[in-house]
Amino acid sequence: TKTLKETLQEVIPAKQEQFKNIKAKHSQTVVGDVKVENIIGGMRGLKAMLWEASVLDPYEGIRFHGLSIPDCQKQLPAAPGGKEIIAESMLWLLLTGKVPTEAETRQLSRELAEKGDLPAYIEHLIDSLPTSLHPMTQLSMGVAALNHDSVFQAQYEKGMKKSEYWEYTLEDCINLIARLPALAARIYRNVYRSGSDLPAINKDLDLVGNYSNMLGYGANHDLTEYLRLYISIHGDHEGGNASAHTAHLVNSTLSDPYISYSAALCALAGPLHGLANQEVLRWQLAMQKELGDNITHENIKDYLWKTLKSGQVVPGYGHGVLRKSDPRFIALQEFCDTRPDLLQSPTIQMVKKTFEVAPGVLMEHGKTKNPWPNVDATSGCVLYHYGLTEFKYYTVIFGVSRALGALTQLVWARALGLPLERPKSISMDVLEKLITTS
Ligand code: CMX
């Protein structure tokens, strides 16, 4: 059985060759136009960065190294006794482009479990924070402080060769992914379970199995399976989304993976991005409160219009790239469809009913380019049903997940020797001159 690093070592030379070829032969080839709308519209649609792990098609949704979510569900190993994709098999795929064997997956689970304990100074740091501090701020602080042990930074100071960057980046990334569950669970326990003790990491369990245990939900097999699926399919969503892109940008300055990912978490904490799964639940519960037992399609429509007319967005709907229902939303809905208790949950029934009317209302409203649900429309409601009701915490779970994609791609950025990212900005006066001369 090969290790993750050995598998990566095998695939790197061919990709480096491909990159060298593209650079040598095609650096000046034009592959698209820059329109004014790209410059003033948050760079939407501008093809301007390399990202190997996944590509997002507006209509088909995400593919991880060419595999759709249903393909991954069929091919990627699950936990012993489980059915859902686990973080380790997704991590392996995102990093190497290969589907791991069962043995490779178990070996990686053990490696992560062995590296998963937090250093004492991080425990003290997190324990010293006010419980009123948002869990995402705590997560970002904890991840940044873990850079105390960055091997990349230590080796950089010693003067390592550029060809070695990826190896130390990989070491930091694996150590960080391994430690995220203990860090995230400690935050949960401090904020919502008044500092109750965390169980020790079980070396025979997968990363998310341990995370669920440390959160205090290990005995709930269905919730643990849901978390496995959730964390795997939220792992990567190509490179341009705000969190992945932030990690990529910051790391391009050769900041170590810890502080790069800490910055990414700050981007994830915005309500237009990862915080939407907290916002969806807040919005759904407010609707439930207002409508009481009268949850009809008509009443939901009225509530949607009320939200839109007050100038707010409908959380969980719309997307920067997608133009169809998000396949991640569909995968999570299918998880619900196989479990009678979830089908009977009032919150989940409301998600389904909202889905039946919201696209029509958003189309009539006429602003959003994509009236269909994104993953956040449903992800939090299942957690809520299973008793993980503290929705301010939900984006932290997303943060544990997004590390799989954002961090593995730092390894590739360093293996390919990608340079410091530095797009050109222009003022409106310069833009107007360009417009008149074009
Ligand atoms: N409700 C109401 N209006 C919406 C909307 C929604 N769900 N989605 C988009 N719009 C509006 C935009 O605010 C924008 O209005 P203005 O022209 O007044 O600025 C207009 O429609 C056009 O926007 P767009 O091009 O369709 O969408 P963007 O690429 O600008 O934004 C997104 C994408 C996700 C930020 C937006 O759809 C949104 O705010 N959705 C709700 C929040 C959400 O669910 N975010 C999670 C996204 C997934 C993730 O990253 O985790």
Question: For the chain, which residues make up each domain, given as ranges?
Answer: 102-273+391-415, 276-385
Question: Does 293 have pLDDT greater than 90?
Answer: no
Q: How far is the CA of 39 from the centre of ligand 1 (A)?
A: 18
Crossing angle, helix 276-291 and helix 376-385, to 10 degrees? 70
pLDDT band of residue 438 (cuts 50, 70, 90) is confident
pLDDT at 278: 86
Q: Which of 153-167, 240-254, 283-297, 399-413 has the lowest mean pLDDT?
A: 283-297
Q: Average of pLDDT values for 55-79?
A: 97
Q: Give the whole-angstrom CA distance, residue 207 versus residue 182.
A: 10
Question: Would you state the pLDDT for residue 225?
Answer: 98
276-385: CATH superfamily: Cytochrome P450-Terp, domain 2 (1.10.230.10)
CB 202 within 8 A of CB 58: no
Whether residue 277 is predicted with pLDDT greater than 90 in this model: the reply is: no
User: Which residues is 55 bridged to in the sheet?
Assistant: 63
For the question of residue 273 being annotated catalytic, the response is yes
Looking at residue 44, its pLDDT comes to: 93
Give the pLDDT band of residue 314 (cuts 50, 70, 90): very high
Residue nearest to atom 28 of ligand 1 (CA): 320
- What are 283's two structure tokens? 């919005």
Least confident of 81-90, 171-180, 185-194, 285-294: 285-294
What integer pLDDT is reported at residue 426 of this predicted model?
97
Which ligand 1 atom is nearest residue 280's CA?
44
Of 172, 206, 256, 376, catalytic = 376
The encoded tokens of residue 406 equal: 């954002």
Percent of the residues in the chain that have a pLDDT greater than 70, as a whole number: 100
195 pLDDT above the threshold of 80:
no
148 has catalytic annotation: no
Mean pLDDT of 230-237: 98
Helix (H, G, I), strand (E, B) or coil at 62: strand
Ligand 1 center–CA 375 separation, angstroms? 14
Question: For 322-377, what is each residue's pLDDT tens digit?
Answer: 999 999 999 999 999 999 999 999 889 999 999 999 999 999 999 999 999 999 99
58: how many CB neighbours lie within 10 A of its CB?
14
Whether residue 98 has pLDDT greater than 80? yes
Interval 205-225 mean pLDDT = 97
Mean pLDDT of the chain: 96
CA dist., res. 391 & res. 316, Å (int): 14
Residues paired with residue 61 on neighbouring β-strands, in sequence order:
57
Atom 10 in ligand 1: residue holding the nearest Cα? 368
| 387 torsion bin: left (phi>0), alpha (psi -120 to 50), beta (else) | left
Q: What is the residue with the minimal CA distance to atom 45 of ligand 1?
A: 272
The catalytically annotated residue of 273, 293, 302, 385 is 273
CATH topology of domain 102-273+391-415: Citrate Synthase; domain 1 (1.10.580)
Whole-number Å distance, alpha carbon 24 to ligand 1 midpoint, is 39
Rounded Cα–Cα distance for residues 152 and 321 (Å) = 34
252 falls in which pLDDT band (50, 70, 90)?
A: very high
Give pLDDT, residue 197: 87
What is the Å distance from ligand 1's center to 234 Cα? Answer: 19
Report the residue among 236, 317, 364 best suited for mutation to probe ligand 1: largest number of ligand atoms under 8 A from its CB: 317
- Out of 256, 319, 326, 385, pick the active-site residue: 319
Task: Determine the pLDDT at residue 287.
Answer: 95
Question: What is the 3-state composition of the chain as percent helix, strand, coil, each rounded to the nearest 5?
Answer: 65, 5, 35
Angstrom CA distances, 92 to 188, 230, 359, 360, 408, stand at 27, 17, 36, 40, 9
Ligand 1, atom 2, lies closest to the CA of 313
CB 264 within 8 A of CB 402: yes
Residue 294 has pLDDT above 90, yes or no: no
Nearest to 13 by CA among 152, 163, 159: 163
Ligand 1 pocket at CB < 6 A: 44, 241, 272-274, 276, 308, 313-320, 367-370, 374, 376
